[in-house]
Structure 1
């Protein structure tokens, strides 16, 4: 007669056991509902970010074909870029809360495919958090990192876009199963769970609404009264316009401008004093100054058309671009180039006045560039040289 001693049950130490999550708000239906809005926010942010980047840093083949119209184009796209990016912060936090129990699945890696899927999710989460965090710090002009913001932010945007597309492709069956209330993968839930999900989504919508309402006024000026959380207010600054880079920060002082003159270089080079510029036929443009940080303000500018200055120097209409140089001692945008679309546009001015007053020193006295559909960093201040290319 033989007998077998029973094997004691395997006991997994409590510290190795994955936590148990029973809340229905961590289910696939909720994650899909939040993901729809987050995906839309990232799509708008990505597309408008591409527009902003290529307007600031066009490749050579595109430089002379960038459109100068609509005049308010950059104001709209960059306002949408910042607004959708801020909304994405709230949406991303809710999305991460919804899916974080999946970080504790056990075993953590079930197969090679599962390992690759988890790696792709890790890249998506890391790059998305990086984008919204660095974008937020950029609009308040705080750069606590050693790298250049613009090229890194642009590169990581492609990583985010690719990661989202890969994630959607991998999760397509699950997303389809839970896309709508009547989807076949949606289980009937207890009434209290349905109510909680509805409350979560309404709370998320309210958070996005509050963030948008209290920041979008910096670009959509009819809502400027509610502009409580944005870093800029459209009415605050010299001559009623915000200023990002002051004359002091650029190393410009009034005494240094006493002998200022404008050098226009081309086949027939010449130089003009400020009095000479005021004696030329005047032109006026009602244009917004729109900054990459998301704020923008409409203003009336007056001065001399750039195309008239170029023509006097022997430039060819529709064929020649212009290089503009500022008196700034240093800076990434001290030298700026304008393609032919901007040079030929009658709204593009070498501005001398703002809203009927001579430019203040912080706004670029004695002369600055103002052009339609153009980022604020390229509306060069303290201009002292125009070169026909």
Structure 2
């Protein structure tokens, strides 16, 4: 019986025959594509809030140069945010097995001795710390926020935003160093060639292993064995590396199957691991997904009644106060639009009916070019009690102050007496229980 070292700093401590450059390289290339898509869709999600429009839209102030890419969020296609945020959340959950398998495959590298051999090596180790720590932080906070509904109120947005930039900086520098070797390893695996120790998608690829006089030489632990991804004393294999990759892929497929349905009405019952993945909230025209209920938001029935509620609309020519009945006598329009949430879930297109935002702007002196608008809600609890919409959103003929949905008056949970609905906007900007709208310079 072989004597198994007890210290993880010894290469012989790591005995899995699955670890190797090819296994790690395949996972790394999958993450290269997946993380790139995650980062881009994350940036798009942030831009969709129009954070440079008004302070109430920006949950990440003082972003400085990190906001260089921001642009006026469009209203076409009307399902844009439904697509980008659905991909962001679903892909993030789907990649979890790949990320965990990748970290497992390279964990011996984290224990190599000496921990720092040169300034260059110290910088590489620092980037590695940021890469591993940043990846775990981003995936963990993202999943917790999605599953537990605003787990970090008031702080999740900046934490996730700044964490993403730290992670992507380390990721890009790591990928620049490792992608060529990863491609070589995958080609070797496909040709059935033996793995080359030290030429992995992770670790020292300078040839130091050759200088030490053998495939397991090089700067390593106290026993002089190289820090390679191939175990020097592997246990007998119980599964092939291809089988292990298939297992990881199967895990990702399972998570995809139990998450993706949150964006499709017919499949919503399959979204066991996604928020709002259960049955629809009741039958009838208002029987589609919601985020905040009227009870959660602190809405009181007495203040939304016909005698009590008035919409206050303000612009350059003054202020008008409109009851729900008076709004109902204004020209009504219909738009078929979805609700899409930052948590990744969305609804199919619902048929909304109400008054165009640009027509309300015209009532208070904004004829012609539509202005920006500041919307205030009766909501007392939760984020985004107020929101700003850009002029292009106000101008879109499908942007409504909705009074009805699917042929019926709005329910309390869907924003009665009136709510905003705008094409391609995040759900939180489609303000419910609207009390006041101020058109003009914000």
Please say whether Structure 1 and Structure 2 have the same fold, judged by a TM-score greater than 0.5. Answer: yes
Answer yes or no: is the 8 Å Cα contact 1:264–1:386 preserved in 2: yes
Candidates 326, 329, 333, aligned match of 1:283? 333
Distance 2:9 2:107 in 1: 16
Q: Distance in 2 between matches of 1:380 and 1:63?
A: 22
Tell me the alpha carbon deviations over residues 282-341 of structure 1, each in whole angstroms, 9 at most, x when there is no partner. 111110000000110021111111111111211143351111111123543111111111
Q: Is the 8 A contact 2:32 2:175 kept in 1?
A: no
Q: Paired residue for 1:3?
A: none
Give the alignment partner of residue 111 of structure 1, picking from 118, 138, 147.
118
TM-score, structure 1 length as denominator?
0.89
RMSD of Structure 2 on Structure 1 (CA): 2.7
Q: Does 1:265 align with 2:314?
A: yes
Structure 2 residue 73 is matched with structure 1 residue 66: yes
Match for residue 47 of structure 1?
40
CA contact (8 A) 2:296 2:381 kept: no
Query: Matched residues in 2 for 1:72 and 1:175: separation?
Result: 37
Structure 2 residues without counterparts, runs of 5 or longer: 54-67, 197-235
TM-score when normalising by structure 2: 0.79
- State how far apart, in whole Å, the 1-side matches of 2:248 and 2:397 are: 46
Structure 1 residues 24 and 318, CA gap change in structure 2 (3 angstroms) = farther
Gapped regions of structure 1 (runs ≥ 5): 1-12
Kindly indicate whether the alpha-carbon contact (under 8 Å) linking 1:64 and 1:340 is maintained by their aligned counterparts in 2. no
Alpha-carbon spacing, 1:240–1:374, altered in 2? closer, same or farther (3 Å): same
Q: Which moved more, 1:35-44 or 1:158-167?
A: 35-44
Q: Which deviations, in whole Å up to 9, do the C-alpha atoms of 1:88-144 show, x marking residues without a partner?
A: 211111101111122232333333322221221111111110111111111123555
Deviations 1:332-372 (A, max 9, x none): 31111111111011110100112111111111100000010
Using the TM superposition, give the Cα deviation of residue 225 of structure 1 relative to its aligned residue in structure 2, in angstroms: 4.1
How far does residue 257 in structure 1 lie from its aligned partner after superposition? Answer: 2.0
Alignment equivalent of 1:33, drawn from 21, 26, 33: 26
Trace 1:175-194 onto structure 2 (pairs within 5 A): 175-181=182-188, 187=194
How many residue pairs are counted as aligned between the two chains? 376
Q: Give the superposition deviation at 1:245.
A: 1.2
Equivalents in 1 of 2:153, 2:404: separation in Å? 38
